[in-house]
Structure 1
Amino acid sequence: MAKKRFIAGAVCPSCQQQDTLRWWQENDVEHVECVACAHTDVRAPQSVEDSTQLSAQTKQQVIGIFKPQD
């Protein structure tokens, strides 16, 4: 089983409580879960810009994508 880590300072989009979200990765898929209200989110490992699965609203919630320079 993957090691689950809390996301410091993160606020749950469902219950609005802070410091209740934990993150882990299984089979290259990211999982986020709120321990207070059981809200969950799953993301596949692909670029947000190229994603056809994500809605426009979800893409707006992304802070940024790190792209190292050559």
Structure 2
Amino acid sequence: MKKRFIAGAVCPSCKAMDTMALTKEDGVEKVTCVSCGEQMTQPEAHVEKDVRANEQVIGIFNPE
């Protein structure tokens, strides 16, 4: 798997700079900190659309 590092990016967890690597699996972009292992994902629009169309929502909880 090919990793692309994001210049100047700071990890929100460990605050290390230049440790964030971008990978892509099955149409989903994943950013991983190579220092602490923190991960963030962002699906592409067409992937998210397909997933959302097949979801079934039972209810929405709104705490007051």
Equivalent residue of 1:10, what SS? coil
> RMSD of aligned C-alpha atoms?
1.7
Q: TM-score, normalised by structure 1?
A: 0.61
- Percent identical across equivalent pairs? 47
Q: Which runs of 5+ in 2 are unaligned?
A: 47-51, 53-64
Structure label with greater radius of gyration = 2
The ranges of structure 1 where at least 4 consecutive aligned residues each deviate by more than 4 angstroms after the TM superposition are none
User: CA offset at residue 42 of structure 1?
Assistant: 1.1
**Aligned length in residues:** 47
Give the whole-Å Cα distance in 1 for the aligned partners of 2:35 and 2:24: 20
Q: Name the TM-score, length of structure 2 as normaliser.
A: 0.66
- 1:46: how far off? 1.9
Richer in helix (by share): 2
2:36 maps to which residue?
37
Amino acid at match of 1:40: Q
Unaligned runs of 5+ in 1: 53-70
